[in-house]
Copies of this chain bind each other. A is one copy, B any other.
Amino acid sequence: MPYVNIKLTGGGEAPSAAQKAELIRGVTELLARVLNKNPATTVVVIDEVAMDNWGIGGESVTVRRSRKEK
């Protein structure tokens, strides 16, 4: 019955459909293994966020990436 929301950077860094499927499967299995949660009602929603819209350290990921940091 859990609900999981994963937010990560999209655009040039967006995961492929296969990678998203792996995240969905992996999180669902983790909750089944650790907490015995029923996979049938475990919901996972992935949000891909534009790099201008994600900030860390007081600046956008766009600016951060332009300095070659990761």
Contacts and interface: CB of A to CB of B under 8 A. Distances in A.
Q: What is the count of identical protomers in the complex?
A: 6
B54 A40 contact: no
B1 A9 contact: yes
Contact of A49 (B45, B56, B60): B45
A47 to B, nearest CB: 7
Nearest to A37: B8
Given A15-B34, A20-B52, A42-B56, 8 more contacts: A2-B7, A21-B60, A24-B58, A24-B59, A24-B60, A25-B55, A41-B57, A43-B56
Interface of A: 1-9, 15, 17, 19-31, 34-35, 37-49, 52-63, 70
